[in-house]
């Protein structure tokens, strides 16, 4: 993503909406606000790193899927697919993303046990009832459809190739950001360091350079920094932390004769086609999947040799010649409460909105969630898709809506 030269100072001392975080979520909110009928207010987006170099957005694997275990996430994914298909031609060129906008090689969840097969079957029934194209495959059918996969240890799999695969997530963010700016949204390269509350409202914010700005509405779209941002408003229970995720791009001597779906191995390693002749693979850490410092982007373990290569060379024997050509470690903004997004108003601070906690699904969930937050700000209610199940109130009330289909 190009590094725009955002100003570091604002043009005014009051804004109707201040969005903290200018990556996928923040830019989606800004885009939907300027497109929302009836809104003509001022919008400021505060982004500490306009290049987004260390953001979850930059580390995105550009994935699109409907294979979730909760109805709301399936509906959010379906909106994302339609959004991307409608606007995808405007996202810009990228040799590793498709034209048309979604590369529909699908997601393939592999099961090596009767117990997990039963879970996949239950999820498939929900997904199909909502119009998703998911279907179950026996191990023999997996082998027939993808003969290069080792299936001897499998019990079954679930597959959907309808609006599932990869898309130009980075291009989408860049496009939404440019559109918002061209329609009056201010983006600045700065950081919110303090908030002043008055009763049940955030009254003003202070920027890193000392500027003080009064606000009517404030939105926390700060990704892995969301919990730290919330504490400035006296909110100390936001269950979001940074978790380490590894990604590698590799090439092989002999590419597969067809696209490889985003294949989720029982080990937790997931792999898919990337470009015309290379592949992407990722995974959580080798040990416990625990919180890491938001400033720590180190490769803390030898994950390629110890976890990834043994898995991919076994599951796809042709990958025994795999050679790494690129790699990165990024952070998930992980919601430890129930792995789901947190959308909408705080229960006590009446002008503080959330659009956070996506647990690895932000690139595809931000279009629907950005629209929802924009509708709340403009109309005081959800108008298109009711996301009240993802409201902040479920956290203090202890009502988790757990999404188990998290990679």
The pLDDT value given to residue 358: 92
Spatial contact of 135 and 127, defined as CB atoms under 8 Å apart = no
The pLDDT value given to residue 157: 98
The pLDDT value given to residue 101: 84
Compute CA distances 396 → 65, 159, 261, 369, 390, whole Å: 30, 37, 39, 21, 13
Domain 1-98+165-239+336-407 has CATH 1.10.10.410: no
The pLDDT value given to residue 94: 58
pLDDT along the chain (407 residues), means of 10: 79 97 96 94 95 77 92 96 88 59 94 97 97 97 98 98 92 92 97 97 97 98 96 96 94 96 96 93 91 88 95 98 94 93 97 94 93 97 95 96 85
Pick the CATH number of 99-164+242-334 from 3.30.70.1450, 3.40.50.10800, 3.40.50.150, 3.30.9.10: 3.30.9.10
| Residue spans per domain, the chain | 1-98+165-239+336-407, 99-164+242-334
The pLDDT value given to residue 60: 80
Q: Which two tokens stand for residue 152?
A: 């001897």
Asked, colleague to colleague, whether 1-98+165-239+336-407 and 99-164+242-334 share their fold, the answer is: no
Three-class SS of residue 141?
Answer: helix
Closest CA to 334 of 355, 354, 353, 360: 360
The pLDDT value given to residue 96: 53
The pLDDT value given to residue 219: 98
| Contacts of residue 41, Cβ cutoff 8 Å, sequence gap at least 6 | 15, 16, 17, 33, 216
Cα–Cα distance measured from residue 164 to residue 63, given in angstroms and rounded to the nearest whole number: 8
Eight-class DSSP state of 199: T
């Amino acid at each position: 993503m190009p590094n725009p030269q955002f100003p570091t100072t604002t043009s005014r001392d009051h804004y109707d909406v201040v969005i903290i975080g200018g990556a996928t979520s923040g830019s989606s909110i800004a885009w939907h606000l300027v497109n929302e009928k009836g809104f003509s207010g001022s919008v400021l987006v505060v982004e500490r790193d306009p290049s987004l170099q260390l953001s979850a957005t930059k580390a995105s694997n550009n994935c699109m899927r409907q294979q979730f275990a909760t109805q709301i996430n399936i509906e959010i994914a379906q909106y994302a697919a339609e959004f991307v298909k409608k606007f995808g031609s405007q996202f810009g060129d990228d040799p590793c993303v498709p034209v048309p906008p979604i590369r529909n090689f699908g997601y393939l969840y592999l099961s090596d046990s009767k117990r997990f097969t039963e879970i996949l079957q239950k999820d498939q029934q929900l997904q199909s009832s909502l119009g998703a194209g998911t279907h179950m495959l026996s191990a023999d059918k997996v082998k027939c459809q993808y003969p290069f996969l080792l299936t001897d240890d499998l019990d079954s799999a679930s597959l959907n190739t309808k609006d599932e695969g990869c898309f130009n997530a980075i291009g989408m963010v860049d496009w939404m950001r440019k559109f918002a700016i061209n329609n009056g949204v201010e983006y600045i390269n700065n950081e919110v360091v303090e908030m002043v509350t008055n009763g049940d409202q955030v009254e003003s914010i202070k920027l890193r350079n000392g500027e003080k700005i009064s606000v009517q509405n404030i939105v926390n779209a700060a990704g892995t920094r969301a919990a730290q941002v919330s504490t400035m408003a006296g909110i100390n229970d936001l269950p979001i932390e940074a978790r380490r995720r590894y990604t590698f791009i590799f090439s092989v001597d002999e590419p597969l004769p067809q696209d490889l779906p985003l294949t989720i191995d029982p080990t937790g390693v997931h792999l898919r086609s990337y470009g015309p002749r290379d592949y992407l693979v990722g995974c959580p850490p080798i040990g416990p999947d625990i919180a890491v410092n938001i400033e720590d982007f180190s490769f803390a373990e030898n994950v390629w040799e110890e976890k990834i290569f043994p898995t991919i060379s076994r599951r796809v024997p042709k990958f025994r010649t795999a050679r790494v050509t690129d790699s990165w470690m990024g952070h998930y903004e992980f919601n430890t409460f129930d792995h789901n997004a947190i959308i909408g108003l705080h229960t006590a601070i009446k002008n503080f909105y959330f659009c956070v906690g996506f647990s690895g699904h932000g690139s595809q969930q931000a279009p629907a969630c950005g629209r929802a937050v924009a509708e709340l700000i403009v109309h005081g209610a959800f108008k298109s898709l009711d996301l009240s199940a993802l409201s902040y109130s479920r956290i203090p009330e202890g009502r988790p809506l757990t999404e188990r289909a998290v990679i």
